[in-house]
Chains A and B, each alone.
Chain A
Amino acid sequence: MKADRTPLWLGIGLAVFLGGGWLIPAWAQSLAILALGKGLVVLGLLLLMRCGLVSFGQGLYYCLGAYAAVSISKIFNLPPSLLTSDAVVMPLAGGIVAGAVAFVLGFLLANYRSIFFAMLSLAFSMILYGLLIKMSVLGSSDGFNITYGTAAGIRLAPGAHLFALYAVSVAMVFAALLGAHRFLSSHTGRLGPAIRDNELRVEYMGASVRNVVHLNYVAAAVLSGVGGGLVALSIGHIDPDLAYWTTSGEFVFVAILSGTTNVAAPFLGSLIFEWIKSVAYQYTPYTWQLVLGVALLLVIMFLPAGLWSLFGRRGKGA
C-alpha cells in the first residue's frame, strides 16, 4: 500500500497559498476569500452528495454561520468582545451554531431521501429566511454590517485586515481539506458512496445508515457555517437573502460543476464560478444567469462527474 501523500501536498499547498497571497492584488484576495468560503459550503454538499443526497437548503447553515456570532451578542445585548470582532472566532462560532442546529434537525432529515430530503431542507431554510426578514433586532430585510478588528485575539494593524482574513480563510480551508480527506478515507466515510449505491445492503452488513447520514449532515452544516462566517466578514454585510433558496441553488450548481471525486474540486469549482460570475456580471448584467444555465446543462450532459473529471482518469464516475 502506498503511503498517503495527501497531507504533504496539502501542506505545500497551504504554504504556496499563504505566500502567494502577498503577491496577488487586493481584489484577487477578496475574490479568493469568497471562493474559499463558498467552497467550504460546497465541500459540505459534496459530503452529502457522496451519500446520494442533494440539499436545496444549505443556505440555512450558510446564513446561520454568517449571522450567528453577531446575532448572539445583539440578542443578548452583550458588550463588544471577541465574538463580535474577531476574524477567527466569528466563523468558528458560526460553524458551531450551524452544527448544533444540524444535529437537532438531523434526527429528522436522516430519514429522508431524494427529492423529499431536498424539499424538507428547502423548507427549513425558507423558515429561517421568513424569520430573519421580520426580526427588527437583526435589521429585518436590510440585514446589518459586520466588521472585524482582531484575528485570534491579535489586534490588526490598519491595512492588514484583508490579508489577515485571507490567511485565516486559507488556513481554515486547508484544515477542512485535511479533515475531509481523513474522513473520506476512514471506514465511516467510505460508507457514504455505499449508501448511495444500495442502502439496504449497507444495513444488512451491520452499519447504521441513519447515523452515517446524520454525521455527514452535521459535518456539512459545520463547513457551511464556517464558510458563511468567512464570506460575511469578507463582504462586511449580511442580510436574509443568504438563506433564500436561490443561494442554496447556487451552491448545488457549484457542486455539480465541481463533481464529487476530489475534496479539492469544490474550491476549484467555486473559484471558477465566482470568476465567471464577476466577469459575466460586469459585461453582460442581464445574461450572466443565462450563461450559467447553459454551462450547467453542458456539464450535466457532457461531464456528469464534474470539471474535476477533466483531470486524471476518465470514467471514474461521481
Chain B
Amino acid sequence: MASLVSVLIDGIIYSSYLFIIALGLTLIYGVMKILNMAHGSLYALGAYVAATLIGAWFNAGLNPYGSLALLALSALLVGVIAGPIIERGLLRFMYGKDEIVLILVTYSIFLILEDVIKLIWGVESYTAFQPYGLLGNIDIGALPYTVYDALLVVVAVLVGVAVTFVLTRTRQGKLLVAVIHDREISAAMGINVGRVYFITFTIGTMLAALGGALIAPKVSVVPAMGVEVIVLAFAVVVIGGLGSLPGAALGALIVGLVRSAAVHYLPEVELFSIYLVMALVLIVRPKGLFSAAEARKI
C-alpha cells in the first residue's frame, strides 16, 4: 500500500515538470505547426543558466531564499533572449514550408544549440542542489518528501491554469486560438500572425527553460540532458494529441505514472514502457487522445 502511494506521488512529481516542458512544445505546435526538436536544448539551456546563477548567488553569500526567484529569472532570460533570436533570426524565413522540412530546420537548431551549450559551459557537470533542500521536508505517510517537490506540482498547476486563462479569457489569447484554428482566415481578418508566432515561440521557449530551471536543483546538469528529454516530451504530446492543452496534461500524467510504476515494480521496462504506451496510443488513436476532429482540406 505504501508503495502504491509512493508510485502515485513520484509519478505526479515527475509529471509536473514533464507537463511544463510539453506545454511549451504543444503550444508551439498548435499555433505554428512546428514540432520543435530544439525544445530539449532550450530546456537544457534553462537548466544551465539556472545552475550558473544559483552557483553565483550562493558564492556571493546572499539570502538563500532568493535563489528560488532565480529559477524563474533564468526561464525568463532564456525565453526573451533565445526565443526571439531563433524565431526572428531563422524560423520566420521558413514559414509555409512542409511540416517535415520544419522538423528538420529545428533539428539543425538542435545540433547547433547542443554545441553552443558545450562552448559556453564546457562538458563538465554543474550542480545547483542548494534550493532543493532549502524548504525542508514533509512526511506523507511514512515517506519524507521535500517541500520543493510539492512546490513543483503547484507551479505546474499554476502554469497550466495561467495558460488556459490567457487563452480563453484574454483578447491576446483569443487571437491566438483564432490563429490555431485557421492561420489564413485570421490573417485576412487583420490579425498580425507574425506577431502571434513571435509571442508564442518566446513563451514556448520560456516554458522549456522553466522546466529545465526547475529540474536543475534535482539533478546534475550535463550536456546530454536535452537529448533525453525531447523524446519524452514528444511522447507526452503525441499521447495527449499534438497542440492540445488538456492533452499535454493528460499525456504528462500518463507518462509520469507509467514511468514511476515501472521504476517501482519492474525497473527493467522503465524506458521501454513509455514508448510502448506512446506506440499503443498512436495505434489506437493516431492523432492522440485529445485530438480535435479536423475538416479535410483539399
Candidate in B111, B231, B286 with the most chain A CB atoms within 10 angstroms: B111
Interface flags for B34-72 (1: CB within 8 Å of A; 0: not) read: 010100000000000000000000000000000000000
Q: How far is the CA of A38 from the CA of B55 in the complex (A)?
A: 44
Evaluate contact between A293 and B110: CB separation under 8 angstroms.
Answer: yes
B281 to chain A, nearest CB (A): 9
Max chain B C-beta neighbours (<10 A), residue from A253, A292, A296: A296
A296 near B104 with CB under 8 A, answer: yes
Q: Which secondary structure dominates chain B's binding surface? A: helix
Of the candidates A114, A127, A133, the one whose C-beta lies within 8 Å of that of B100 is: A114
Asked whether, in the complex, the Cβ of A286 is within 8 Å of the Cβ of B123, the reply is yes
Given A124-B279, A127-B279: A134 in contact with B268 (beta carbons within 8 A): yes
Inter-chain contact A253/B286, CB cutoff 8 Å: no
Q: How far is the CB of A197 from chain B (nearest CB, A)?
A: 13
**Restricting to A113-130, which residues have a CB under 8 Å from any CB of B?**
114-116, 118-120, 122-124, 126-127, 129-130
State in angstroms the CA–CA spacing of A131 and B279 once bound together.
14
Q: A286 to chain B: closest CB distance in Å?
A: 5
B272 pairs with A127, CB closer than 8 A:
yes
Could you say which residues of chain A place their CB within 8 Å of the CB of B298?
200
Contact A122 B231 (CB under 8 A): yes
Q: How far is the CB of B291 from chain A (nearest CB, A)?
A: 10
Known: A115-B100, A123-B235. A293 touches B109 (CB 8 A): yes
Taking the nearest CB of chain A, how far is it from the CB of B272, in angstroms? 3
- Whether the pair A290, B282 counts as a contact (CB closer than 8 A) is no
Decide if B198 is an interface residue (CB 8 Å cutoff). no
Q: Is the CB of A133 within 8 A of B271?
A: yes
Given known contacts A115-B99, A297-B105, A134 and B269 CB-to-CB distance under 8 angstroms: yes
24 contacts between A and B (CB under 8 A): A111-B286, A114-B100, A115-B100, A116-B282, A116-B287, A119-B282, A123-B275, A127-B279, A130-B269, A130-B273, A133-B271, A134-B269, A200-B298, A249-B37, A252-B107, A287-B118, A288-B115, A289-B114, A292-B111, A293-B115, A296-B107, A296-B111, A297-B90, A297-B108
